[in-house]
Amino acid sequence: MKALMFGWEFPPHILGGLGTASYGLTRGMAEQKDLDITFVIPKPYGDEDQSFLKIIGACHVPVVWKDVSYQQVEQTLGGIMHPDEYFHYRDRIRYDFTRIGTNDIGCIEFSGRYPDNLLQEIGNYEAVAGVLAHSLDVDVIHSHDWLTYPAGIFAKQITGKPLVIHVHATDFDRSRGQVNPTVYSIERRGMDVADHIICVSDLTRRTVIEKYHQDPRKVTTVHNAVDPIPHVEQFVKTPRKEKLVTFLGRITMQKGPEYFVEAAAKVLQRTRNVRFVMAGSGDMMQAMIDLVAARGIAGKMHFTGFLKGKQVTQMLADSDVYMMPSVSEPFGISPLEAMQVGTPSIISKQSGCAEILSHAIKTDYWDIDAMADAIYAIVEYPSIYKTLSEEGRNEVNQITWDKAGLKVRAIYDMVINNS
Amino acid sequence: MKTICLYFEVHIPYVLKRYRFFEIGNDHYYYDDFACEDRVRYLAEKSYLPANKILLQLLNNYPQFCCAFSLSGAAIEQLEQYAPEVIDSFQALAETGRVEFLAEPYAHSMASLYDADEFERQVERHAAKIKELFGKKPSSFRNTDFIYSDEIGEKVASMGYKTILMEGAKHVLGWRSPNYVYQHAYMPKVRLLARNLVLSNHITFHFSDSSWSEYPFTADKLMDWLQSSPQEEQLFNLWMGYETFGDVQKDWTGIFEFLRAIPMLSPRYNVGFVMPSMVKEEPVASLSAPYPVSWQGEEKDLGIMLGNALQEEAVKKLYSVTERVNLCKEKNLKRDWLHLQCADYFRFMSFKPTWGNTFESPYDAFINYMNILSDFLLRVEAEYPTSIENEELNELLKTISNQEKMIEQLEKELKVAKKKKKEA
């Protein structure tokens, strides 16, 4: 079976959870030996792991026919794509995309990020999908998140093959309800056209059914999983006297950082043997610094700024408690990562991952008392720390991508049989 | 003649209120009165009162009928407070003389596993309360959740109870049937009765389960089964929580009619009734239980109450202050001490499925309990600081009490001397 996937990010160059999830899922699905995955992203850097799938960069696919020489193509593509492949696509251009600005070999430039002209970039990506749909032999099309829905729809219209869309987040999660109508209409159209919709949690599934008015029979939850951390044993806790409670993520409205600060203030009224860390950056950072000052806990609350890669894992391993008070989190991979290094997690019930974790403490995001209580308990009562740490690690090690991959495969089989 | 031994457990744990850590040291009241009252009234109206009414009718109509109860301290206290008419109805049952009330640890505690003295105190306290309410001191014993081991059996026997009720757990009975009388592993005079857990569970859990192969369960069917059992099996111990009638099995399932029909049909099948202390049969063998068993969970061991690190920490912290609390004089502290020992609170911290849990997760149950316990320990600490060793404390208290006696004596002498002086 051949699957054509449209994504926006792929490790190692990632900007958010989407890239990690895309990698994990495709990697898990590659365990099924009869499945060929072609993964399209706007702009590859050439250092992506292609051992288990084929990556196509949208910026290397010609959309406008140009009479160019082999050498010229080879030079421009810089070894990331083979010139033969380029000519294969070039000879199958069926539409006139000259309105789009292209380079000398007829390819579109992509930023591969989330630029201001994002909508234009989405449209360009759609054009590339048109060329690919005419060039490739596929059985099923799979679009990850709203940016790639138009591409998926176009490919479906051309090939007549079933389209599966994967909802990693909706605009309702990102905006706390202040939905952008343009984004909504793109999302809505993708869901309407799709043969099946995969959601990363039941929470997201409910949003899709209730806010996007989809038929529940067409919407299935496939929970995300987590990849094992390489050399996890090297991340050990640095011994220290005081306990460490950590918030890690973008400091934005969606993540509920103010609830973390308020809970910290409550805990510090009672016990001084604990420090709080807010790692990450975001548009609410200044507001949080002000709030910390107003609560008079600046001496106990530390802002580290943006962390990446191993720093993140080390920070998690050093913590005694990891907190994710997200107001709305379609899935939320970070508590699973914390649990992988044996750090107890407190998560909001409004997070998708709460649906599959039993060895984490779950509270409502607004329930500061409950969060403070849980922090206090973990730092004061040794057995709850030990149990959450050990049982949590065992639990999270069972949540693997190959299981999620099998669920996605079952959906593929279903939509192919139905079409 | 085959006989049925009916026994019902009446226990209602106090509902602990939501107790956050910032209340530690400030708030010394731990119970959700509204939820307690709600639960007690519900059980009284749906289960206890209608069931007691039926039992009283049965006792009046069928002279061969009898049954047994045990009421936990928490149940008695809460019934007295919120549904005193239930106590009255139990007293009416007791007056027939054919209802036996068993002894158990007053606090529905696991003290038998941790502190023999505390255990004894609670059993004595419970027995006294039962005598006060129902006019008769209990003569048979059943432990909290039927926790039993050879050691506990020995301890219970030393308190004067010759009949002990236990769970008919497979790993103790082995190939043996629960429908005989057994004896303690090394004290032949101590009689053990084992619950017939299959039949008992059919009533409690399968009665209205239409997917069960034997559904519907009727009194006729029960009698048929008893009759068709091997001739030598004479005693059928049907023991269950009293809330089986009207709560676990709602009234519309016909559970009350089932209860009513049992004594009605019994003469036809030549089946009689017996109370635990009236069981006549001689023991057929001894049962050895080196490790404690209980009626909880699938494993019938302590796994549900004490199977994980959370439960262990909580129970160890609790029983670390037994001696100190017993030195204390403060009434409220002593009352809380008993309430906090209730085994249900530990059961709620289990990762295994367990009934009646009001907490969202084992962690939630643990956090709430530990916060309350922390406050309780602070109060004990305030009375008798932990910086003083227990023995030292005992010595000091002894000195004080000796000095008091001495002062008394000296005062007496002084009086006498003064009198003499006056006379002189």
Report DSSP letters for A127-185, one per residue.
HHHHHHHHH---SEEEEESGGGHHHHHHHHHHH---EEEEES--HHHHHTT---HHHHH
Residues, chain A, total?
A: 419
Instruction: Identify all chain B residues contacting A270, using CB atoms and an 8 Å cutoff.
Output: 21-22, 24
User: Mutating which of B19, B20, B21 best tests the A interface, going by the most A Cβ atoms within 10 A?
Assistant: B21
Judged against a pLDDT cut of 80, whether residue B387 lies above it is answered with: no
Q: What is the per-residue pLDDT across B20-59, written as a single tens digit (0 to 9) for each?
A: 999 999 999 999 999 999 999 999 999 999 999 999 999 9
Within chain B, how many helices (H) and strands (E) appear?
A: 18, 10
Give the span between the Cα atoms of A28 and A13, in whole angstroms: 19
Name the nearest CA neighbour of A362 among A386, A391, A388, A380.
Answer: A388
The percentage of residues in chain B with a pLDDT greater than 70, rounded to a whole number, is: 100
Cβ-nearest to A384 among B310, B351, B374? B310
Contact between chains at A373 and B371 (C-beta distance less than 8 A)? yes
The tokens for A254 are 């969606």
Q: Residues A59, A178: one domain?
A: yes
- At B81, phi and psi to the nearest 5? -80, -45
Provide the pLDDT for residue A79: 82
Q: Residues A35, A167: one domain?
A: yes
**Chain B residue nearest residue A270, CA to CA:** B22
Q: Residues A66, A207: one domain?
A: yes
Contact between chains at A373 and B367 (C-beta distance less than 8 A)? yes
Residue B400, Cβ neighbours under 10 Å: how many? Answer: 10
Instruction: Identify all chain B residues contacting A269, using CB atoms and an 8 Å cutoff.
Output: 22
Q: What is the per-residue pLDDT across A364-382, written as a single tens digit (0 to 9) for each?
A: 999 999 999 999 999 999 9
Instruction: Identify all chain A residues contacting B20, using CB atoms and an 8 Å cutoff.
Output: 369-370, 372-373
Q: What is the per-residue pLDDT across A110-166, written as a single tens digit (0 to 9) for each?
A: 988 888 889 999 999 999 999 999 999 999 999 999 999 999 999 999 999 999 999
Q: What is the per-residue pLDDT across A326-375, written as a single tens digit (0 to 9) for each?
A: 998 999 989 999 999 999 999 999 999 999 999 999 999 999 999 999 99
Cis peptide before A12 (omega within 30 of 0): yes
Q: The whole model's pTM is what?
A: 0.88
Whole-number Cα distances in Å, A212 to A186, A327, A330, B58: 11, 20, 15, 62
Provide the residue type at A289 as one letter: I
Instruction: Determine the 3-state secondary structure of A342 from DSSP.
Output: coil
Provide the pLDDT for residue B298: 85
Min Cα distance B329 → chain A (Å) is: 29
Give the span between the Cα atoms of B145 and B166, in whole angstroms: 9
Give the span between the Cα atoms of B275 and B375, in whole angstroms: 43
- Write the CB contacts of B93 (distance below 8 Å, at least 6 apart in sequence): B52, B55, B56, B59, B69, B99
Q: Report the domain count for chain B.
A: 1
Confidence of residue B401 (pLDDT cuts 50, 70, 90): confident
Q: Residues A194, A277: one domain?
A: no
User: Mutating which of B363, B373, B374, B377 best tests the A interface, going by the most A Cβ atoms within 10 A?
Assistant: B363
Judged against a pLDDT cut of 90, whether residue B99 lies above it is answered with: yes
In A42-148, where does DSSP find H-type helix?
Answer: 70-77, 83-90, 118-135
Q: Residues A171, A212: one domain?
A: yes
Question: Per-residue pLDDT averaged across A276-305, rounded?
Answer: 94
Mean pLDDT of chain B: 93
Q: Residues A215, A286: one domain?
A: no
Q: Residues A71, A206: one domain?
A: yes
Q: Residues A302, A413: one domain?
A: no
| Residue B350 touches chain A, beta carbons under 8 Å | no
Whole-number Cα distances in Å, B267 to B62, B263, B273, B332: 10, 8, 10, 51
Contact between chains at B363 and A361 (C-beta distance less than 8 A)? yes
Q: Residues A169, A312: one domain?
A: no
Judged against a pLDDT cut of 80, whether residue A176 lies above it is answered with: no
Domain, as residue range, for B156: 2-20+31-287
Q: Report the domain count for chain A.
A: 2
User: Cβ distance B347 to B296 under 8 Å?
Assistant: yes
ipTM, two decimals, is 0.85
Residue B101, Cβ neighbours under 10 Å: how many? Answer: 27
Confidence of residue B259 (pLDDT cuts 50, 70, 90): very high
Domain, as residue range, for A365: 232-397
Provide the pLDDT for residue A237: 87
CA atoms lying within 13 Å on the CB side of residue B351: 14
User: Cβ distance B5 to B235 under 8 Å?
Assistant: yes
Confidence of residue A177 (pLDDT cuts 50, 70, 90): confident
DSSP state of B287: E
Edge to edge, the sheet with strand A163-167 lists A54-57, A36-41, A2-6, A140-144, A163-167, A196-199, A219-221
Examine residue B331 and state whether it is found in any structural domain, yes or no. no
Question: Per-residue pLDDT averaged across B194-223, rounded?
Answer: 94
Q: What is the per-residue pLDDT across B341-372, written as a single tens digit (0 to 9) for each?
A: 999 999 999 999 888 888 999 999 999 999 99
Give the span between the Cα atoms of A145 and B147, in whole angstroms: 56
The tokens for B203 are 């009533």
The tokens for B95 are 């007056």
Cα angle B176, B182, B185 (rounded to 5 degrees) comes to 100
The dihedral through the CA atoms of A129, A132, A138, A144 has a sign that is: negative
What would the 3-class secondary structure string for B224-253 be? HHHHHCCCCCCEEEEEEEHHHECCCECHHH
Report DSSP letters for A308-332, one per residue.
-THHHHHHHHH-SEEEE--SSBSS-
Residues, chain B, total?
A: 424
Examine residue B413 and state whether it is found in any structural domain, yes or no. no
Give the span between the Cα atoms of A127 and A150, in whole angstroms: 9
CATH code at position B253? 3.20.110.20
Confidence of residue A310 (pLDDT cuts 50, 70, 90): confident
| Residue B22 touches chain A, beta carbons under 8 Å | yes
User: Mutating which of A345, A373, A378, A386 best tests the B interface, going by the most B Cβ atoms within 10 A?
Assistant: A373
Instruction: Identify all chain B residues contacting A362, using CB atoms and an 8 Å cutoff.
Output: 360-361
Contact between chains at A388 and B363 (C-beta distance less than 8 A)? yes
Name the nearest CA neighbour of B3 among B271, B276, B280.
Answer: B271
Judged against a pLDDT cut of 80, whether residue B171 lies above it is answered with: yes
The tokens for B160 are 């004067």
CATH code at position A144? 3.40.50.2000
Q: Residues A203, A323: one domain?
A: no
Instruction: Identify all chain B residues contacting A388, using CB atoms and an 8 Å cutoff.
Output: 363
Give the span between the Cα atoms of A80 and A42, in whole angstroms: 13
Examine residue B83 and state whether it is found in any structural domain, yes or no. yes
Min Cα distance B25 → chain A (Å) is: 11
Instruction: Identify all chain B residues contacting A358, using CB atoms and an 8 Å cutoff.
Output: 351, 361
Cα angle B128, B246, B86 (rounded to 5 degrees) comes to 35
Name the nearest CA neighbour of A346 among A332, A369, A363.
Answer: A363
Give the span between the Cα atoms of B322 and B333, in whole angstroms: 12
Instruction: Identify all chain B residues contacting A384, using CB atoms and an 8 Å cutoff.
Output: 310, 313, 363, 366-367, 370
Q: Residues A69, A133: one domain?
A: yes
Instruction: Identify all chain B residues contacting A376, using CB atoms and an 8 Å cutoff.
Output: 21
Chain A interface with B: residues with Cβ < 8 Å: 266, 269-270, 358, 361-362, 369-370, 372-374, 376-377, 380-384, 386-388, 391
Instruction: Determine the 3-state secondary structure of A48 from DSSP.
Output: coil
Confidence of residue A404 (pLDDT cuts 50, 70, 90): very high
- What residues of chain B, 300 to 319, have a C-beta less than 8 Å from chain A? 308-310, 312-314
Contact between chains at B310 and A383 (C-beta distance less than 8 A)? yes
Examine residue B171 and state whether it is found in any structural domain, yes or no. yes
Q: Residues A43, A191: one domain?
A: yes
CB pairs under 8 A between A and B: 57
